[in-house]
A and B are shown apart, each in its own frame.
Chain A
Amino acid sequence: MHSFGYRANALLTFAVTILALICAIASFSDTLSTPTPTSNVQVLNINRFQKKPDGDDEVSLTFNISANLQSLFTWNTKQVFVFLAAEYETPKNSLNQVSLWDGIIPSKEHADFWIHTTNKYRFIDQGSNLRGRNFNLTLHWHVMPKTGKMFADKIVMTGYRLPQAYR
């Protein structure tokens, strides 16, 4: 009854149960914090705005992002994935989300940042609907925990507009 095998089995089962419980508690503890991130984005320049040979509009932007995401970090946070997406509506599509820039924040010290950049991914519409188009810039973040549930949220910044003519 109390052979080596049984004891090893009991110990292993107990250890795994405790580990699972600790993981669950760590994941649950994330829900107790209420983050208050802030962000601001300025579009500085439209570098290029034209219709590609296949008929789709393409824009190249230069912009500033300043954000403070330090409150997202808890003891169970491995990293925060942050990205800026342009979101707009066209006659063809009820929603277009185009990621312009993204980055990985590995620790709390790097979570208060300011960056001056052009769009990392191409800003291309499906069709030719971008002239004079209003769009939102949304800063999304995706919190990756050391273990457990991932969660995401965003700040929507409205009132951006593309020019009426290609350049």
Chain B
Amino acid sequence: MGWIGEQVDSIKSIQFRQLLTQAITLGMIVTSALIIWKGLMCVTGSESPVVVVLSGSMEPGFKRGDILFLHMSKDPIRTGEIVVFNIDGREIPIVHRVIKVHERPDTGEVDILTKGDNNPGDDRLLYARGQQWLQRQHIMGRAVGFLPYVGWVTIIMTEKPIVKYILIGALGLLVITSKE
């Protein structure tokens, strides 16, 4: 009786330890991803340091599925820069090039007009009704770096959620069942 009890206890303790280790491993993965993301936010000063190009409006420069690295600095915005902006009432930010800038002398306020390289006309049609110019507060950052194709992972995952669930499930299973 005493022997069996001992065995049961030892098994229980092993499982508990193993479970704890796995929980910690999983926690480490999640938190390190979070740390990298938040760290990038601090370094770049942009609330979303990496964006995926979703449309072909900047082809052939940026294609769908390319990744852009954003940077938000105090430097004034000038023509030719590729900025990411948010329009009131639109959920998805847009990546386009600045073609016109008008800057006030005293306040430094700017009026900005953008256009996609591959679009025939400027972006006034995309702006909110009656909006002629973008202001500083619409700008989320400017694109400084570029990495091709990597964004397809997220495009596929958002458009086919089943892939995401399978991937998350498989990874979770791998973490739980793996023994070092």
Contact = CB atoms under 8 A, between A and B. Distances in A.
Q: Do A and B come from one complex?
A: yes
A106 B111 CA distance: 30
Given A144-B146, A150-B146, A81 B97 contact: yes
Interface residues of B, number: 27
A97 interface: yes
A110 B103 CA distance: 34
B12 interface: no
Contacts of A78: 60-61
Interface string A7-32: 00000000000000001000100000
Contact of A95 (B62, B101, B122): B101
Interface residues of A, number: 31
The prevalent SS among residues of A at the interface is: strand
B144 A149 contact: yes
Given A93-B105, A121-B99, A126-B102, A85 B79 contact: yes
Contacts of A23: 147
Interface of B: 60-62, 76, 78-82, 97, 99-105, 111, 117, 122, 143-148, 174
Interface of A: 5, 23, 27, 78-79, 81, 83, 85, 92-99, 102, 104, 106, 121, 126, 140, 142, 144-150, 152
